[in-house]
């Protein structure tokens, strides 16, 4: 295959060596112990990962416990403290003979592609980059500009997130790999949500990974950047850089017993809290040039929502309902199905342009009877999601959770916006389990409390009002007039279908 870098020539599907998930490592002592602990939890079992630091510990536990394979795919993997820590542990796993496949979307790799090429030089690590940009400009915006002649293709991104160890246990949910997703950010932190999953569902998650890995749109990292070093020297330099960057977390690792060790006893204790259910994987096809958009997740969730009889709770960072969704909302309201939505306020949304799109639909949602809440920048619950000692300047809801009739729950990467519905690929678990649905409902109910979220309603004169535990506002809460002006200005641009 010719080099990808250096030009903006439209990229075609490649032909690369196929590989597939290994068989589940049922003989490994750690997984035998876990299987015994969850013997009566079948066919599938789940543990919510509600706090960022806990989610980081469980990722470390899976990586350190792997004996045969690690498969991970992420929309974003930053070269910050947590990203460096996780990659360092993955390389250590490869050193002990574990086969590693890492699949990363190209949208934010402009500054760190050389490190992925170096990691790929390890004999037990394969790194592939999903749907790479032909012209390798620095920065996501520069890449899109330099690839305008191939925009339809590069606009399609893999928004999937997940990691599987030994084809036995997986983590699926909204978290990317970066400090802010695990509560260690200085500038920003996110309220996010994952599930630790085990049982019969794990091979299905692995199968979804294989589909992307072998799609022809997952390019080997060294083919994407042939000018970067791909040898033992580059790998040695990478090891040193990772050690330097992750040292910031050493105190936390020691305090929370998250250094490399045998995690069996802790995983078993964790699994004792697992909740049983029956799950299926919802995943969009990775077919970049398919004339039909990747709407498999959207179609299923719309069907499940249309069948609700009493209540739907939606936690989503971005809320831009297209007409078909509003039709469903109106139909549900006619049947007296309560719809509760928590999304970001102008203060907490990390994309002002997306909030501008949401503002155009807020009145319609309220008119349809939706119980609407927007997260507060000063939410009292922030401390539950940020690591101790980390209080970031900004804070954003990033969890993607839908609960149907208190008996069925979806956890994954899906945002309620056109980009997730019709452009990017998404993945998640749809789980039948009243106990899990009630448990997750109780966890997210905290975020709806008036000290954590504004309740958006109309006053007696029909004007929008934001009601909190301490005050009521007659205009949209914003940290600055400039941010409010940006939202107003961007709201004049009709770009909902790209948000």
Domain edge (last residue) among 271, 302, 334: 271
- Judge whether 383 lies within some domain: yes
- Judge whether 99 lies within some domain: yes
- Judge whether 23 lies within some domain: no
- Judge whether 21 lies within some domain: no
One domain, residues 217 and 329 = no
One domain, residues 211 and 305 = no
Q: Which two tokens stand for residue 433?
A: 């389990």
One domain, residues 318 and 256 = no
Whole-angstrom Cα distance, residue 330 to residue 296? Answer: 23
- Domain span holding position 479: 293-498
One domain, residues 425 and 491 = yes
Whole-angstrom Cα distance, residue 102 to residue 106? Answer: 12
Question: Is residue 152 a contact partner of residue 206, using CB atoms and an 8 Å limit?
Answer: no
Whole-angstrom Cα distance, residue 76 to residue 78? Answer: 6
One domain, residues 113 and 239 = yes
One domain, residues 211 and 356 = no
One domain, residues 264 and 316 = no
One domain, residues 235 and 313 = no
One domain, residues 265 and 302 = no
* Bridge partners of residue 311, in order along the sequence: 338
* Bridge partners of residue 165, in order along the sequence: 70, 169
- Judge whether 473 lies within some domain: yes
One domain, residues 57 and 131 = yes
- Judge whether 430 lies within some domain: yes
Domain edge (last residue) among 209, 237, 271: 271
Mean pLDDT by 10 residues, the chain (499 residues): 49 88 97 94 94 97 98 96 97 98 90 89 97 76 73 87 98 98 96 98 98 94 89 96 91 93 96 96 84 78 97 98 94 97 96 92 96 97 93 95 98 96 95 98 98 96 95 90 84 72
Whole-angstrom Cα distance, residue 146 to residue 134? Answer: 9
Domain count, the chain: 2
14-20 contacts at long range (C-beta below 8 A, 24 or more positions apart): 14/216, 14/217, 14/219, 14/223, 15/216, 16/128, 16/214, 16/216, 16/218, 16/219, 16/220, 18/213, 18/214, 19/101, 19/126, 19/210, 19/213, 19/214, 20/210, 20/214
- Judge whether 439 lies within some domain: yes
Q: What is the pLDDT of residue 246?
A: 84
One domain, residues 494 and 443 = yes
In DSSP notation, 322-354 reads -HHHHHHHHHHHHTT-EEEEEEE-TTT-S-HHH
Here the CATH number for the domain that contains residue 225 is 3.30.870.10
Instruction: Give the three-class secondary structure for 74.
Output: strand
How many CB atoms neighbour CB 220 within 10 A? Answer: 21
- Tell me phi and psi for residue 439, to 5 degrees: -65, -45
- Judge whether 428 lies within some domain: yes
Name the pTM for this structure: 0.94
One domain, residues 309 and 263 = no
């Amino acid at each position: 295959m010719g080099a990808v870098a250096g030009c903006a020539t439209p990229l075609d599907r490649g032909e690369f060596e196929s590989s597939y998930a290994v068989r589940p490592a049922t003989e490994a002592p750690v997984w035998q112990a876990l299987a015994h602990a969850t013997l009566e939890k079948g066919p599938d079992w789940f543990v919510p990962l509600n706090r960022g630091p806990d989610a980081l510990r469980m990722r470390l536990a899976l990586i350190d416990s792997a004996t045969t394979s690690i498969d991970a795919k992420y929309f974003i993997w930053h070269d910050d403290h947590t990203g460096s820590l996780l990659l360092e542990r993955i390389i250590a796993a490869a050193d002990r003979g574990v086969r590693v496949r890492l699949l990363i979307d190209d949208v934010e790799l402009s500054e760190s592609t050389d490190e992925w090429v170096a990691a790929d030089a390890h004999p037990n690590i394969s790194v592939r980059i999903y749907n790479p940009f032909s012209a390798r400009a620095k920065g996501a915006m520069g890449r899109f500009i330099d690839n305008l002649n191939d925009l339809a293709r590069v606009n399609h991104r893999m928004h999937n997130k997940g990691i599987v160890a030994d084809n036995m246990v997986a983590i699926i949910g909204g978290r990317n790999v970066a400090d802010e997703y695990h509560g260690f950010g200085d500038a920003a932190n996110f309220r996010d949500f994952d599930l630790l999953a085990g049982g019969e569902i794990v091979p299905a998650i692995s199968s979804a990974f294989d589909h992307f890995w072998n799609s022809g749109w997952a390019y080997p990292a060294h083919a994407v950047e042939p000018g970067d070093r791909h040898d033992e020297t580059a790998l040695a330099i990478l090891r040193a850089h990772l050690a330097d960057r992750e040292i910031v977390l050493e105190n936390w690792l020691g305090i929370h017993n998250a250094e490399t060790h045998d995690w069996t006893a802790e995983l078993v204790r964790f699994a004792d809290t697992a909740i049983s259910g029956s799950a299926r994987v919802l995943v969009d096809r990775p077919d970049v040039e398919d004339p039909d958009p990747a709407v498999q997740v959207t179609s299923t969730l719309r069907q499940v929502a249309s069948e609700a009889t009493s209540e739907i709770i939606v936690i989503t960072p971005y809320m831009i309902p297209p007409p078909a969704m509003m039709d469903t909302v109106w139909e549900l309201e006619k049947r007296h199905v309560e719809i509760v939505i928590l999304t970001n306020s102008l203060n907490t949304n990390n994309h002002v342009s997306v909030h501008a799109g949401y503002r155009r639909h807020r009145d319609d949602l309220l008119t349809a009877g939706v119980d609407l809440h927007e997260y507060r920048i000063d939410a009292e619950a922030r401390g539950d999601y940020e690591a101790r000692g980390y209080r970031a300047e900004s804070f954003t809801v990033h969890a993607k959770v839908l609960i149907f009739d208190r008996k069925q729950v979806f956890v994954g990467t899906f945002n309620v916006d056109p980009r997730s519905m019709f452009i990017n690929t998404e993945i998640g678990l749809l789980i039948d389990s009243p106990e899990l649905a009630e448990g997750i409902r109780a966890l997210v109910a905290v975020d709806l409390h008036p000290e954590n979220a504004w309740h958006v309603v109309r006053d007696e004169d029909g004007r929008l009002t934001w009601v909190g535990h301490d005050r009521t506002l007659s205009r949209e809460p914003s940290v600055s007039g400039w941010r409010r002006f940006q939202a107003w200005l961007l709201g004049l641009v009709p770009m909902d279908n790209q948000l």
